Structure 1
Amino acid sequence: MNKQFQGIYAVVVTPFYEDGTFDVESAKKNLDWLIEQGVQGVCILGATGEYQSISDEEHMAYVKEIVPYVKDRVSVIVGASRERPEDVVKLVNNIKECGAHAAMVLPSFYCHPAQDEIVEHYRYIEEQTQFPIVAYNNPGSAGIEIGQDAFRQIMALPYTAIVKESSGSMQKLTEVLIDAPEKVSVFCGCDNLAYESFADGACGWICMLANVAPKQCVDLYQAVYVEEDLKKGKEIYKEILPALNVLESFPKPVQALKYGLSKKGLNGGYVRRPRMELNEEEKTYLSEAMKFETLR
């Protein structure tokens, strides 16, 4: 485990105004609340933060505004996935300059790179930036899975600090945990496998639900990973599992979280195209299925 990176990292939504511009003040208020609730870190501009829907210039401007606001209070990871590694390098160097603590990077998506090309993708980015990198395995988003041998090579690179394992396979997570060197933290990346992942040895969780239930997510991490109290952890998990299952199955998880924030008196803002706002039927379903009133 890399002791710099452990615990609950809320992968935060990005509030937009209706015209698509950033609502920075709402973003800051949401971050203040998350920090008050005890999260160990935040992940800005992950998929939940709609990184795919903003330009490189917008990405860099938002990072310059948000990262300095929180970097001295909590650990900060920033998503920097792009198809071209040269674009990733540009974003990561800006992230580094603004004082964040790591950058999260998928393999190049859509082109379905071979395993040696995945390794080279991370090698190139680390050589060009010399900055801590989160190697992110998410076959559903990238269209390709990082294999075990490729993972070993990536984790041996000097700036690989974290692996975010989002394949949905506990066997895969176990393989990564067994192979991970001391300098690499292994994080859960599937919301509805958090309990199992902590019990298996994952030391952190980059977590969607923490946007609206940060206290319970922190309590789950504390009970299962820190205290090794599986019974206590299971009771907490039972409270939040319905909401976790919704986030991993409902086709509009970003909108669900933004709606949930409105139930907390906070503001998740609008989404950007191609996403659409929730209709009344969807809001009713989410209120019943996620039980926002029980989340804290």
Structure 2
Amino acid sequence: MQVNWTGVFPAVATQMFEDGFIDYDMTATQIEALIDAGVDGLVMLGSVGENTALEMDEKIAVLKLAVDLTKGRIPVLSGVAETTTAAAIKYAQKCEDLGANGLMLLPGMIYTADTRENLEHFRAVAAKTSLPIMIYNNPGAYRVDIKPEEFNQLADVKNLVAIKESSGDPRRITDIYNACGDRFVLFCGMDDLVMETQVLGAVGWISGFTDAFPKESVGLWKLLSEGKYTEALAIYRWFAPVLHMDVHAKLVQYIKLAQAMTGVGKEYVRAPRLTLVGEERETITKIIQKAIDTRPSV
């Protein structure tokens, strides 16, 4: 199926057992809960999906599960986060073979590429697959910042179609548009900037905390897309303390703890990540519990 590049695309967590092995049954349950809530697509194996902590055969198994389970009801994208361009090409081609509908392509991991190297990485991967690709720009996490004018240098690559903008600067939405026109579809990539970036022109949201609060996330986006900003603002203000945790280095632990507390997942992660303990756990639990206790009607 073709990807309709609009709406809420949760960055789906890869569910684990306490020993760090993948819980495929819970991953499937989570996917069904997201579909039931009305999400518009799935992004498997992104940062929240612990892509870089998984072996290649595990990534393939998780992606196959998602493709088989959705049965074309909504599009399934896979994150591509490899350490070399050759490995990224190999995985992208495997995604296409498995029936994925698109890719979310990250810069090469570990090595911090310069602009020329980074743009060539995107070009090289795109040239070896027919799948549509969303470029993921997250300089805070991955140390590579793709500037608006640099995106314009990729405008001739037809299957580079969308941008997940996670620089943390909502002005980038306007700057990308001014540099590239409407060449690329723009997605919000940080949960706590969803309202700001939607107003500025983002037409979709790659969201982490949709995993834990799927109905509220879909409801918020619906209000925003309908221009009902007063109603949306009330939900956004309720949600904001939770959404701020999406930009923390431990976003995976925070999201998974929220999933466990809302009954749509488990908190277990794969080392070197560890589940939360002590004062940090108490602080995060209080924020999540307050959101649960004061959930708005959507």
TM-score normalized by the length of structure 2: 0.92
Question: Across the two proteins, how many residue pairs are aligned to each other?
Answer: 293
Aligned-pair CA distance for 1:269: 5.0
1:136 maps to 136
1:94-173 to 2 correspondence within 5 Å? 94-173=94-173
> Could you tell me whether the CA contact under 8 Å between 1:8 and 1:39 is conserved in 2?
yes
CA distance in 2, matches of 1:194, 1:181: 21
Of 276, 279, 293, which residue of structure 2 is paired with 1:278? Answer: 276
Q: Which amino acid in structure 1 is aligned with residue 247 of structure 2? A: E
Aligned-pair CA distance for 1:19: 2.9
**Residues 73, 295 of structure 1: CA spacing in aligned structure 2 closer, same or farther, 3 A cutoff?**
farther
Deviates more, 1:25-34 or 1:170-179: 170-179
**Residues 155, 206 of structure 1: CA spacing in aligned structure 2 closer, same or farther, 3 A cutoff?**
farther
Q: Percent identity?
A: 29
1:60 maps to 60
**Residues 148, 184 of structure 1: CA spacing in aligned structure 2 closer, same or farther, 3 A cutoff?**
closer
Q: Which amino acid in structure 2 is aligned with residue 277 of structure 1? A: T
1:85 maps to 85
1:234 maps to 233
1:255-274 to 2 correspondence within 5 Å? 255-274=253-272
Aligned-pair CA distance for 1:177: 2.9
CA distance in 2, matches of 1:116, 1:102: 24
Aligned-pair CA distance for 1:129: 1.3
Superposed CA RMSD in Å reads: 1.9
Q: Which amino acid in structure 2 is aligned with residue 287 of structure 1? A: T
User: Mind listing any 5+ residue stretches in structure 1 that lack a counterpart?
Assistant: none
Whether 1:246 aligns to 2:245 is yes
Aligned-pair CA distance for 1:292: 4.1
1:13 maps to 13
CA distance in 2, matches of 1:156, 1:187: 20
The secondary structure found in structure 2 opposite 1:49 is coil
Aligned-pair CA distance for 1:180: 4.3
**Residues 265, 216 of structure 1: CA spacing in aligned structure 2 closer, same or farther, 3 A cutoff?**
closer
**For 1:71-124, what per-residue CA distance to the aligned partner results, in whole angstroms no more than 9, with x for missing partners?**
512121111111211111111111111222111111223322221222211111
CA distance in 1, matches of 2:226, 2:265: 34
> Could you tell me whether the CA contact under 8 Å between 1:107 and 1:118 is conserved in 2?
yes
Deviates more, 1:42-51 or 1:212-221: 212-221
1:288 maps to 286
Deviates more, 1:78-87 or 1:146-155: 146-155
CA distance in 1, matches of 2:270, 2:243: 23
**Residues 197, 245 of structure 1: CA spacing in aligned structure 2 closer, same or farther, 3 A cutoff?**
same
CA distance in 1, matches of 2:191, 2:92: 26
**For 1:214-248, what per-residue CA distance to the aligned partner results, in whole angstroms no more than 9, with x for missing partners?**
12222222222x21222222112111011111332
1:223 maps to 223
User: Mind listing any 5+ residue stretches in structure 2 that lack a counterpart?
Assistant: none
Deviates more, 1:169-178 or 1:207-216: 169-178
1:191 maps to 191
1:25 maps to 25
CA distance in 1, matches of 2:79, 2:266: 18
Aligned-pair CA distance for 1:141: 2.2
CA distance in 1, matches of 2:88, 2:275: 29
2:72 maps to 72
TM-score normalized by the length of structure 1: 0.92
**For 1:154-186, what per-residue CA distance to the aligned partner results, in whole angstroms no more than 9, with x for missing partners?**
243110121000001122221123344556311
Aligned-pair CA distance for 1:18: 2.5
CA distance in 1, matches of 2:185, 2:95: 20
2:51 maps to 51
CA distance in 1, matches of 2:266, 2:212: 10
The secondary structure found in structure 1 opposite 2:177 is helix
The secondary structure found in structure 2 opposite 1:104 is strand
Aligned-pair CA distance for 1:20: 2.5
The secondary structure found in structure 1 opposite 2:153 is helix
**For 1:237-263, what per-residue CA distance to the aligned partner results, in whole angstroms no more than 9, with x for missing partners?**
1110111113323x4221122121222
> Could you tell me whether the CA contact under 8 Å between 1:162 and 1:184 is conserved in 2?
yes
**Residues 263, 269 of structure 1: CA spacing in aligned structure 2 closer, same or farther, 3 A cutoff?**
closer
> Could you tell me whether the CA contact under 8 Å between 1:212 and 1:295 is conserved in 2?
no
